[in-house]
Amino acid sequence: MSVTSITSVLTDPGFRLPLGDWVDAGVDGLIATFGGLFDLIRTVLIGGFEAVETVLITPPMWIVALVLAGLAYLAKGWRLALGALIGFLVVQGVDQWGNAMASLALVLVASAIALAIGIPMGIWAASSDRVSAAVRPVLDFMQTMPAFVYLIPVVIIFSVGPVPGLVATIVFALAPGVRFTELGIRQVDQEVVEAGHAFGSTPRRILRQIQLPLALPTIMAGVNQVIMLSLSMVVISGLVGAAGLGRDVVSALSRVNVSLGFEAGLAVVILAMYLDRITSALADRSPVAKALRTTSA
């Protein structure tokens, strides 16, 4: 086919690149082929979410709040613990505690799964330039595709409820886990890795004893990013009926209810700050980060 015939096809007003149709057909095909797999994913996600949510919601509010504040105390100190406690009281005060805990459960489950996939992917990508080159555009796609767009096929596959929200969140939050892990491992001083080889260590032991510990501060920054992205996506997944703060935000939006929107939004901010401070405090507590802060005696 000559160039002119291609341009004539493309400029024909009746022509349209049927990309959407193909994706449509692809999704249908997926459901037909992997129906069993999707059922399994649904069961696992629902199970995980409900287990975590039960733990967070069943005890009285003040016990959960004290435990969370206690974690903040262990991770950083009494100031963060006090701040967290005040924040949780505010959340309770605007009657968003139940929603906040549902959102927290979604974030924890989605982040855990995103990290369980992302960190090994990052390790793999760090060990091979080819894998790294193949993974990078996929990550770009996952991270920059507008978040709402994920929801559409996910809803078709998993219908409404927490599961499509979780799946969309995992996909959206996966990228920084992979990226930071790869970056962290690649940044490890090559001479130290070489020392591992020179004394006769195996690649697996070098990964465990040298690369991962030295990359840990960077990996923890990735963990922090994964959790933050999860939280932002969990709110968006309120659109597809995922429980939690997102649902109130969405309903406030549709009813132009400023006060409800603000209250739910504030609860999101408090949750975000809590998760962010805890994970950055944990990053600072990694042995390597601590060792590097120690100066000459």
Q: Is there binding between residue 13 and another protein (CB under 8 A)? A: no
**What is the closest distance, in whole angstroms, from the C-beta atom of residue 294 to another protein in the complex?**
5
Write the interaction track for another protein spanning residues 150-189; mark x where CB under 8 A is met and - where it is not: ---------------------------------------x
**What is the closest distance, in whole angstroms, from the C-beta atom of residue 214 to another protein in the complex?**
7
Count residues binding another protein (CB under 8 A): 25
Binding another protein (rule: CB under 8 A), the pick from 197, 208, 255, 269 is: 197
Span interacting with another protein, options 27-35, 131-139, 193-201, 230-238, rule CB under 8 A: 193-201
36 Cβ contact list (under 8 Å, min separation 6): none
Q: Is there binding between residue 213 and another protein (CB under 8 A)? A: yes
Contact between residue 113 and residue 199 where contact means Cβ atoms under 8 Å apart: no
**CA 174, CA 157: separation in Å to the nearest integer?**
20
CA 192 to chain centre: 31
**What is the closest distance, in whole angstroms, from the C-beta atom of residue 284 to another protein in the complex?**
13
Q: Is there binding between residue 208 and another protein (CB under 8 A)? A: no
Q: Is there binding between residue 259 and another protein (CB under 8 A)? A: no
Q: Is there binding between residue 192 and another protein (CB under 8 A)? A: yes
Widest distance between CA atoms in the chain = 78
Q: What token pair was written down for 199?
A: 């004394």
Binding another protein (rule: CB under 8 A), the pick from 33, 43, 54, 209 is: 209
Which is nearest to 199 in space by CA: 185, 188, 210? 210
**CA 139, CA 66: separation in Å to the nearest integer?**
38
Buried b or exposed e, range 124-140, using 16+ CB within 10 angstroms: ebbeeeeebeebeeebe
> Strands, E, within 79-219: which ranges?
none
**What is the closest distance, in whole angstroms, from the C-beta atom of residue 165 to another protein in the complex?**
38
Q: What token pair was written down for 271?
A: 């949750």
Binding another protein (rule: CB under 8 A), the pick from 32, 199, 204, 258 is: 199
Per CB under 8 A, residues contacting another protein are: 189, 191-192, 194-195, 197-202, 205, 209-210, 213-214, 287-288, 290-292, 294-297
